[in-house]
Each structure stands twice: as C-alpha cells, then as structure tokens.
Homo-oligomer: A and B are copies of this chain.
Amino acid sequence: MPEQVLIYSRFPKSQMAEIARRYDLLDGHGKPPIETFTAEQLKPVRALITAGGQPIPGPVLDTLPSLKAIICFGTGYDGVDFSETKARGIAVANSPGANANAVAEIAMGLMLASMRRLIVADRYVRSGGWAKGEPTVLTTMPPGIAGRKVGIYGLGEIGRKIAARCAAFDTEVGYHSRSRHDAPYAYFDNLDALAEWSDILFVAVRAGADTVHKVDAALLKKLGPLGTIVNISRGSVIDQKALVAALQEKTIAGAGLDVYEKEPHAPDILTTLDNVVLSPHIGGQTAEGLVGMQDCVIANLDAFFAGRPLPYPVG
C-alpha cells in the first residue's frame, strides 16, 4: 500500500506522473484541501507537495493534523510560514537548483523577446500587416543588447547562470545581493544603485517577506525610458501596479514576466500592453528541469517516509 501524499497546488497532471508511480496522490487542484476531501480523508495525510509560492496558512495546516512534511516542487518556498510549520514540527524541503538552467533560459528568452519585441513582430507577420506595409512600432529602433549594462538582483544559482549568459552577449554585468560573491561582475551593495546603473534588470532573488515590493515605482524609474525589467523570481518582488503604470506611461521601455502577484492571473491591463512579454510561470518547465525537480521531490518523500533526514531541507 503506497503512502498517501496531498498535492496542494495546481499542477499539470504530467508533472506529477513520475511521483504518482510511487505514491498515492490526493490532488486538491490548488483549492483548500478541505473543499476537495473530507476531514476523514485528510486526517492521515503526513506529507504534501506544493509549488512553493502558494501560501499555506495556519487554518489550512489545522485541517491536516498528521502533516509532518511540506515538499516544495521547485526552488522557492516563500508560501511557507515557518513560524506555523515550526510550531507544528513540520519539516520543509525544496528542489534546489534542479531547474536553474531552465529558468535562466526563459529569463534570457523573455529579455530578448521584450527588447526585440518578438510578440509584436510575430503578430505583425501573422496578421498580414507586414505584407500590407501597415505602420508599426517596429520601425522605431530599439537598443541592441551588446554594450548594455545588465543588473542581476540576486546572485544565486539562477542569477549566476543569467549573468554568464548575458556576459556572452558583450554586455557589462553587475549584481546586487546581501553580500559580495566570488564572481567576475560589478557588485552593488544596494538595489537602488544597481537600478540606476542598469539598462536591463533581472529579478532573480529568492523571494520572501523581506523582498516584497522591493521593485517599486521609484526603482523602475531609475531604469529609464529605454530600460527593461525581467522577473523570473516571484511576483511579490515587484509592485505590480507600479509596473503596469510604468509600462503604460513608458517610464520604462518593456518587461518580460514569468511570475505575477496573483497566479494564475495577470492583471487585465497588463494583458493589453504591447511592451510586455508574458509567460505563465513556466520558467522551470523543461524536460530536464521537470525530471530534476521530480527527482528532488521523490528523494525528499522517500527519505521522509523512511524516517531519514530530508536531503534538501529549508527553513
């Protein structure tokens, strides 16, 4: 009889297929578990899988009296309230680095697609606008990437990979993080100075209570009217209202976003703007990224149910 594991966030079925071979999954489809299952069904549940960013408040934990392990699918664990988990003796683990290549790749794709306006370009060709010679914003030349100053906010595994890829585009790379790293890039001890210096800013910081709205209206303004921002971390790091306003008013030139304040939802105004590229939090989702994350989740679950220490603990 396989152990039972609750799926707390909404995941495509394909992402859980490997895990479902080893465990009996109770899929809550992203809703509070008690809406999908009876208290009786939830009572024996000892472990759950979450996307990491989705909040798991105390009242939800109260419906899971046997819970002792929260396993985050991905590197983030900002939805976990450690005061709540510690009080209950719940261990927390993640899937570190397993998807760093995939996330760095989509960050680069969003930056290039935003700066070279590939969404607008693709639509212009498909609509027949090109064939008809219709007026287009594409005739206004954007700055190229080479020679630009690229700022990376957060130089963890993903931030480093973004930095290395950007450097190959003949850019200057700088970064801000809490402390200086052994890395061949300019260090800025505060985010304001990094934004002031940067033409392109990547948000790659590990999100948490201390990073909420670190990128606000004033910071966006520092990027300037030719500036571009890319966020592959968490929606909470950027004041989304301020970002929408900056894009509408052309305070900055463009943005590439894989994450949003309230997922799965991008604000309505954002979806009408041409100077932004939107992806539905698919940063980590490559075949290799998925296998890497599944492997970490399974390793965490196997260890937990065998009574061994979790291989990737956090908190």
* Partner-B contacts on A (CB < 8 A): 10, 12-15, 101-102, 105-106, 108-110, 112-113, 115-116, 118-119, 121-122, 124-126, 128, 130-131, 133, 138-147, 164-165, 167-170, 264-266, 271, 277-280, 282, 285-290
Contact of B101 with A105 in the complex, beta carbons under 8 Å: no
Contact of A288 with B124 in the complex, beta carbons under 8 Å: no
Contact of A141 among B10, B144, B287 (CB under 8 A): B287
Extra contacts, 14 of them, besides A101-B145, A108-B108, A165-B168 (Cβ < 8 A), are A14-B139, A105-B116, A105-B145, A108-B169, A118-B279, A121-B278, A121-B282, A126-B266, A128-B271, A131-B265, A141-B287, A143-B288, A144-B287, A144-B289
Counting from the closest, the 8 A-B pairs by CB-CB distance are A109-B112, A168-B168, A144-B286, A12-B139, A125-B278, A121-B279, A101-B146, A130-B280
Contact of B109 with A141 in the complex, beta carbons under 8 Å: no
**How far does the alpha carbon of A138 sit from the alpha carbon of B12 in the complex, in Å?**
10
**How far does the alpha carbon of A165 sit from the alpha carbon of B170 in the complex, in Å?**
9
Which residues of B are found within 8 Å of A264, using beta-carbon distances?
A: 130-131, 133
**How far does the alpha carbon of A15 sit from the alpha carbon of B141 in the complex, in Å?**
9
Residue of B nearest to A272 (CB): B126
**How far does the alpha carbon of A278 sit from the alpha carbon of B120 in the complex, in Å?**
10
**How far does the alpha carbon of A131 sit from the alpha carbon of B260 in the complex, in Å?**
12
Q: Give the shortest distance, in Å, between A49 (CB) and chain B (any CB).
A: 17
Which residues of B are found within 8 Å of A15, using beta-carbon distances?
A: 139
Residue of B nearest to A277 (CB): B122
Contact of A287 among B142, B164, B170 (CB under 8 A): B142
Residue of B nearest to A271 (CB): B126
Contact of B168 with A167 in the complex, beta carbons under 8 Å: yes
Contact of A118 among B109, B115, B146 (CB under 8 A): B109
Do A140 and B14 form a contact, CB below 8 Å, given A119-B118, A266-B125? Answer: yes
**How far does the alpha carbon of A121 sit from the alpha carbon of B257 in the complex, in Å?**
11
**How far does the alpha carbon of A277 sit from the alpha carbon of B126 in the complex, in Å?**
10
Contact of A142 among B138, B146, B278, B286 (CB under 8 A): B286
Contact of A113 among B109, B285, B290 (CB under 8 A): B109
**How far does the alpha carbon of A102 sit from the alpha carbon of B108 in the complex, in Å?**
15
Contact of A143 among B121, B126, B140, B286 (CB under 8 A): B286
